[in-house]
Amino acid sequence: MLQLSNDLSFDTADGVETGNSGDMAALNLSRLIAAAADAIADHAEALTALDQAIGDGDHGLNMKRGFEAVRGEAEAFSAKPLPEALKAIGTKLVMTVGGASGPLFGTFFMALGKEISAEPDRVNLTTAFGKAIDAVAARGKSQPGQKTMLDVLYPVHQALTQGKIASEIADVADNAAEATIPMRALRGRASFLGDRSIGHMDAGARSTALLVRTVAETIGERT
């Protein structure tokens, strides 16, 4: 029985943990991988359409290729301790997604694997998530406000530190992706467009929000 839902459901304002902890070892990683790959596959065309508007139109295909590759090895990944599994997923994404986003998503999962414990509680998850997104920012030489995936990752981290529950975190992610629409892109291909990047949602922000919602909902429904 997955216990992270208990961790995610604590709602103390100061982030003091009140739920069960240390039970993420029971996390059904293969189910999470399948749900993430399904979400990306279901939205591949929409992600491509976003990237067509202000990029080169490959983001949906890139993500689908990467997550199908991860799905193909879900059994092997799930047999590993969580840190090793996340590092292996990151490595696979770097090798298969391509584009700018491949190394960035790969860095996220590899850094998360480096920082997370085998049986993380909410505090460890939050700290590891924070370090993983800092690693993405370092890799991309980017920061929030530049119309990238970081504009979803940082608000999600903030929601984690605030002790928000899974459904609230998923909403924060969606709203953060929407909030990239009026931004001017300062990183990635979209930045070549200058002001013409304004008025479109960032594709990487959207795919990140999709993954956040999928993880939150899969864990929230007690896999």
Q: Please check whether residue 146 is in contact with residue 104, taking contact to mean a CB–CB distance below 8 angstroms.
A: no
Give the tokens for residue 220: 């929230």
Cβ distance to Mg ion smaller for residue 54 or 112: 54
If one asks whether residue 59 binds ligand ADP (CB under 6 A), the answer comes out as yes
Give the tokens for residue 17: 């943990």
Contact pick of 104, 125, 132, 173 for ligand ADP (by CB under 6 A): 104
Residue type, 20: N
Could you tell which of ligand ADP, Mg ion, none binds residue 220, using a CB distance below 5 to 8 A set by kind? none
Contact pick of 128, 202, 211, 220 for ligand ADP (by CB under 6 A): 202
| Number of residues located near ligand ADP, criterion CB under 6 A | 23
Min. distance of Cβ 176 from ligand ADP in angstroms? Answer: 12
Neighbours of 142 (CB within 10 A): 19
The total number of residues shown for the chain amounts to 223
If one asks whether residue 205 binds ligand ADP (CB under 6 A), the answer comes out as yes
Mask: binding to ligand ADP, 64-103, rule CB under 6 A, as x and -? Answer: -----------------------------------xxx--
Max CA distance (Å), the chain:
49
Using CB under 6 A as the binding rule, the residues of this chain from 159 to 198 that contact ligand ADP are 187-189
Residue type, 169: I
Min. distance of Cβ 36 from ligand ADP in angstroms? Answer: 16
Nearest residue to 207 (alpha-carbon basis) of 121, 79, 99, 113: 99
Q: Please check whether residue 71 is in contact with residue 34, taking contact to mean a CB–CB distance below 8 angstroms.
A: yes
Could you tell which of Mg ion, ligand ADP, none binds residue 150, using a CB distance below 5 to 8 A set by kind? ligand ADP
Min. distance of Cβ 155 from ligand ADP in angstroms? Answer: 14
CA dihedral 151, 157, 163, 165 (to 10 degrees): 60
How far is 39 from 214, CA to CA, in rounded Å? 7
Write out the residues near ligand ADP by the rule CB under 6 A.
51, 55-56, 58-59, 62, 99-101, 104, 140-142, 148-150, 187-189, 202-205
